[in-house]
Structure 1
Amino acid sequence: MSRMMEALVKEHRGFGAVYKQVPIPDYGPDEVLVRVKASSICGTDVHIYKWDTWAESTVVTPNVFGHEFAGVVEAVGDRVLNVKVGDHVSVEGHFVCRTCKACRTGNAHVCLNTRSFGITIPGCFAQYAVIRADQVIHNRPDVPFELACLQDPLGNAVQAVLAGDIVGKSVAVIGVGPIGLLAVMVAKACGAGQVFAIDVNDYRLALAARLGADMTINSRDGSLVQTILQHTNHEGAEVILEMSGHPAAIREGFEAAAPAGRVALLGIPSKEVSFDVARHIIFKGLHIDGITGRRMYSTWYQMKGLLDNHRMELSQLVTHRFPLEQFEEAFSLMMSGQCGKVVFIHE
């Protein structure tokens, strides 16, 4: 009879989730079994929990969801050589085919055959998770689990910030949820010039200021575009990092971008977005980056370099901790926006 574990399952294709017992997953010869010690809620998990249009078209159910975690290896498959029992690890959550053109040309993060940890295959909101050995990310044993589990979203921010030139540039981070807050920290750590943080949430704007934003803008109080123009010699921000996914914010981000600037799009819109392509992209000569996950594996080495050399202090970002069984309170808090990063501490 299978051993059982507690897990948070997206069981039905609608709002919410179920905390229940499920079998501890089996691991194959090229896989490892990890005891999860900490996991964190991503904006993607909120999309799944709320069950919006994106989730309906993407997410497999029933499924253990969650994809940001840190833990300790409990068992390894017969063919595993790079991981041993007791290692402290996280995971690169894009499980790619390794044989398609994208994978073989250094672009595995956009593999068309990707299976996504916690989205289309079982994830980490559970006592145990199974991951492929070649997807393992080793963590230093002295790094607290609640901080090590933040590397997945940090990687999103690192890829967005460093997808182009950043040193000395004016940077506008639109949407300072957890990844937007991380983007503020990365931009400052990597030598950006003036960093603007834009949101409609005063709690997170205050947190962005504590994390290094030079100026915060509540876009409810006036024109985001005019405010940025006013503080950039009427040129616009040289780098726009769009983290909100809100249609109006995306449109305003393109309008606020400086000519020949760069726009990185990470926020997931819940519906199609229309805007003036000719005026705000073509005639401006903008460079646009779609950001999904982390570049495999260069982004991981970049963020390890930042963390290991103390260029960033992630503990400032963690504002709330819960046991997994209090998931309803944790997700309600995330949806309220009155938090930084929310972490589940697994027993």
Structure 2
Amino acid sequence: MKALVKLTAEPGLRLTDVPEPETGPGDVLIKVLRTGICGTDLHIRAWDGWARQAVEAPRVLGHEFVGEVASVGADVQDIAVGDLVSGEGHLVCGKCRNCLAGRRHLCRSTVGLGVGRDGAFAEYVALPASNVWVHRAPVDLDIAAIFDPFGNAVHTALTFPLVGEDVLITGAGPIGIMAAAVARHAGARNVAITDVSPDRLEIARKVGATLALDVSAPGTGIAEAQRRLGLKEGFDIGLEMSGRPEAMRDMVDNMTHGGRIAMLGLPATEFAVDWAKIVTSMITVKGIYGREMYETWYAMTVLLEGGLDLAPVITGSYGYEDFDTAFDEAAKATGGKIILNWA
């Protein structure tokens, strides 16, 4: 089968033939239809410092996908050939304290699809049945392909109650934009989002952001967002999506007392924050990683059934043979999600 592979320990990817994945009695073999390009995939393609320590070549990339079930193992129940499915890309041990308690998203031994094991940038991918999400309700294939990052947005946005709250999102990448859509849909009063890309901020406006602010210009920090929205005491909820030190510091400075921050953005290095302000303002900071299995997946499905529109987030679609062009567009970091078509 054709697959997009990190073939050797150097920059670049190769479209090549690899064997179809082997499956056991508890596994599902999936014919891939669409995949989404993630920042993780860009890191692996560039073969940066993180990729060099996290990935062992050769490796088939990809963890955002939708496909059709091609076969199921003898022990698999409630999943049938022909089902439309996506996959939870975090494979957990099932034996640690958190797994046994039903908190699988907190497993200390998580293996990432397309990072620690061969992934979905291929004609077929295999997953344990426990990692397969069957789409029981109708869903657009492009949207189904990005359930993984959509789940990151939902997990982050719904960490704290949003109804009637003023929400600040720092970072208008695709996940930040989806979080803005979720926050408005879930009943936030105002949703302000900041970034340095005018194109991405325009997408955020399309999904319902109250205010999309370019903070690269002088005098346009988060305090300006407060002023434009007429806030007197600061933001109630912060969703940090950028991993940028200046964004986190500015967010802390503009939270109301008792404000709550969910932090998904992954910093490249350690950085300082004003912990005295966090203490004296009684701000809660919670780290977010991945999705809750499978509460987040249920929430995603219900949000879409309830009319949440993520179509503006998809800004490019390519056949898998044109992967280099697709990756180049994704690497510009000026648009939304880029889709590869494997059908």
The answer to whether the superposition gives a TM-score over 0.5 is yes
Match of 2:283 in 1: 286
Match of 2:292 in 1: 295
Contact 1:164 1:262 survives alignment (8 Å):
yes
For the structure 1 residues 215 and 111, does the alpha-carbon distance in structure 2 shift closer, same or farther, using more than 3 Å as the test? same
**Partner residue of 2:160 out of 160, 164, 186:** 164
Secondary structure at the counterpart of residue 23 of structure 1: coil
Q: Superposition pairs for residues 63-74 of structure 1, below 5 Å?
A: 63-74=59-70
Q: How far apart are 1:36 and its partner, in Å?
A: 0.2
**Partner residue of 2:182 out of 177, 186, 200:** 186
* 1: CA distance, partners of 2:13 / 2:295: 34
Contact 1:228 1:256 survives alignment (8 Å):
no
**Partner residue of 1:91 out of 87, 92, 97:** 87
Q: How far apart are 1:95 and its partner, in Å?
A: 0.8
* 2: CA distance, partners of 1:52 / 1:249: 23
Read off the aligned partner of 1:287 and give its amino acid letter: T
**More divergent stretch after superposition (31-40 vs 231-240):** 231-240
**Partner residue of 1:307 out of 301, 304, 309:** 304
Matched, 1:27 2:27: no
* 1: CA distance, partners of 2:128 / 2:268: 31
Q: How far apart are 1:234 and its partner, in Å?
A: 4.1
**Partner residue of 2:245 out of 240, 244, 247:** 247
CA deviation vs aligned residue, 1:204-226 (integer Å, no higher than 9, x gap): 00111111011111111134232
Matched, 1:212 2:203: no
Read off the aligned partner of 2:166 and give its amino acid letter: S
**Partner residue of 1:100 out of 91, 96, 103:** 96
Q: Superposition pairs for residues 120-139 of structure 1, below 5 Å?
A: 120-139=116-135
Read off the aligned partner of 1:228 and give its amino acid letter: A
Read off the aligned partner of 1:256 and give its amino acid letter: N
The alignment's TM-score, normalised by the length of structure 1, stands at: 0.94
For the structure 1 residues 226 and 198, does the alpha-carbon distance in structure 2 shift closer, same or farther, using more than 3 Å as the test? same
Contact 1:228 1:237 survives alignment (8 Å):
no
CA RMSD of aligned residues (A): 1.6
Q: How far apart are 1:247 and its partner, in Å?
A: 2.4
Contact 2:152 2:289 survives alignment (8 Å):
yes
For the structure 1 residues 129 and 249, does the alpha-carbon distance in structure 2 shift closer, same or farther, using more than 3 Å as the test? same
Match of 2:254 in 1: 256
Contact 2:207 2:310 survives alignment (8 Å):
no
Q: How far apart are 1:143 and its partner, in Å?
A: 2.2
Match of 2:312 in 1: 316
**Runs of at least 5 residues in structure 1 that lack an aligned partner in the other structure:** none
Q: How far apart are 1:232 and its partner, in Å?
A: 4.9
**Runs of at least 5 residues in structure 2 that lack an aligned partner in the other structure:** none
Q: How far apart are 1:177 and its partner, in Å?
A: 0.8
